Amino acid sequence: MAKQQQAIQAIRGMHDILPEQSPYWHWLENHARQVLAAYGYQEIRLPIVEKTELFKRSIGEVTDIVEKEMYTFDDRNGDSLTLRPEGTAGCLRACLEHGLLHNQSHRLWYYGPMFRHERPQKGRYRQFYQLGVETYGMPGPDVDAEMILLTDRLWKKIGIRDKVELQLNSLGTSEERAAYRATLVSYFQQHLAILDEDSLRRLETNPLRILDSKNPAMQEMLQQAPVLLDHLGEDSLAHFRQLTQSLDALGISYRLNTRLVRGLDYYGKTVFEWVTDELGSQGTICAGGRYDGLIEQLGGKANHAIGFAMGMERILALVEQLGSVTPEPTTDVYMIRVGETAEQLGMIWAEQLRNDIEGLKLQVNCGGGSFKSQFKKADKSGAAYAIIIGDDEAQRGEVALKSLRIEQEQITVNYDALLATLSNWQQQKSHSSNQ
């Protein structure tokens, strides 16, 4: 006898999205698509693998992602490739490669898995889904405000608006940051004893990131640190002021977070995060900012860009925690068939119903079984109705129709009456879901 093989399991931090969860994903994805369409954004689909060099040059050598989180490997030609840890670099690479940035502006979005070798925990995975949005060719701050507006609209649509807070900061220009960096480093040097190991390492390489530290022992010292906003020039300040004035006029509240620096090197001027305190320490559900400088860094002509990405798992975790969403069942009608004549007629009528009722979700029981066992499956499917066919009815050209969710007499119907009842039900359903 063959020895039973040991089952193979998924990679740590990489999760299956099971059928019972996918309706929630579709629900969120559909809302996001609708919101993006309402602002004229177009989808771009990008490869999951890029040259390692792309991420090193864009995200920055001394960021967490490039230092320790990338899935990098040599392919069979010996080229170093990386599973994308984020989408901004690939999106810009594609637009430069295809000449989309010559005297044009673009509003784009992409969606898909990203890969980072982090320590897996709630809200932090090694494969996770981001919906990313990028715009090119617009200096802002009007488009900066639009980005925030469209995320605000999505949060309202999915019912989480009052659970998230908008945090805003400006990182100024790279010259302004360089001057600030020197001030900041000398401040930290006066407090070396308080800095933890991570921060000491960053003091040389990426001191702004120290501001981001969550280490409780460092908080008081960080509160007193010099503030970047105080080191910005008139141009950067005007950009920021105009943005906050727009947000005020549009009724979008925000909190100025002068320690918001973002983990990636390429940001300048506007940066923002949407944060919830309902998800523990993985509370940022959406983050982004302006990155005009990255375009030249990747070999393009000076231009403008702003974007953000939202973490789908974290948004869904928040939605699930609030418990306010019941996605549509995947089945409207379940067809039960017992007997050979019934099975044949059922298949034909099911096809006919799918022709006659656009969008009807009709599941036909396959693989046989008693009435009782098929009823159980019908109930479990979430369907509103069961169509029941036995050989006797089939021979008379009739079926039984039973409501599974509300008290209602079972009726016996021919095809036309079946069609009329189900069409009616579906119209009512789509009418009430549009309200």
Secondary structure (H, E, C), 392-428: HHHHHCCEEEEECCCCCCCEEECHHHHHHHHHHHHHH
Cβ proximity to ligand ATP: between 84 and 116 the closer is 116
Cβ proximity to ligand ATP: between 278 and 391 the closer is 278
CB of 248 to ligand ATP, least distance (A): 25
Cβ-proximal residues to 343 (8 Å cutoff; 6+ apart), any chain: 337, 389
Residue in the block written with tokens 């009709």? 362
CB of 213 to ligand ATP, least distance (A): 12
What is the number of the residue whose Cβ is closest to ligand ATP?
A: 311
- CA–CA distance, 47 with 152 (Å, rounded to integer): 29
Beta bridge partners of 130: 112, 311
Count of C-beta atoms within a 10 Å radius of residue 19: 8
Rule CB under 6 A: is residue 128 a binding residue for ligand ATP?
yes
Beta bridge partners of 307: 134, 289
Burial state string for 54-75 with b = 16 or more CB within 10 A and e = fewer than 16: bbbbbbbeebbbbeebbeeeee
The binder of ligand ATP chosen from 46, 218, 287, 294 (CB under 6 A): 287
Cβ proximity to ligand ATP: between 261 and 353 the closer is 261
Cα angle 277, 282, 285 (rounded to 5 degrees) comes to 75
Cβ proximity to ligand ATP: between 239 and 314 the closer is 314
With contacts defined by CB under 6 A, name the span among 40-48, 150-158, 310-318, 359-367 that binds ligand ATP. Answer: 310-318
The binder of ligand ATP chosen from 243, 285, 338, 353 (CB under 6 A): 285
Kindly identify the residues of this chain, within the stretch 312-331, that bind ligand ATP according to CB under 6 A.
Answer: 313-314
Cβ proximity to ligand ATP: between 210 and 286 the closer is 286
Cβ proximity to ligand ATP: between 128 and 334 the closer is 128
The binder of ligand ATP chosen from 57, 84, 116, 337 (CB under 6 A): 116
- CA–CA distance, 237 with 191 (Å, rounded to integer): 29
With contacts defined by CB under 6 A, name the span among 135-143, 158-166, 171-179, 285-293 that binds ligand ATP. Answer: 285-293
Count of C-beta atoms within a 10 Å radius of residue 216: 7
Cβ proximity to ligand ATP: between 125 and 349 the closer is 125
- CA–CA distance, 206 with 185 (Å, rounded to integer): 10
Rule CB under 6 A: is residue 130 a binding residue for ligand ATP?
yes
Closest CA to 399 of 389, 408, 391, 407: 389
Rule CB under 6 A: is residue 86 a binding residue for ligand ATP?
yes
With contacts defined by CB under 6 A, name the span among 20-28, 115-123, 324-332, 346-354 that binds ligand ATP. Answer: 115-123
Chain residues in the site for ligand ATP (CB under 6 A): 86, 116, 118, 123-125, 128, 130, 263, 282, 284-287, 309, 311, 313-314
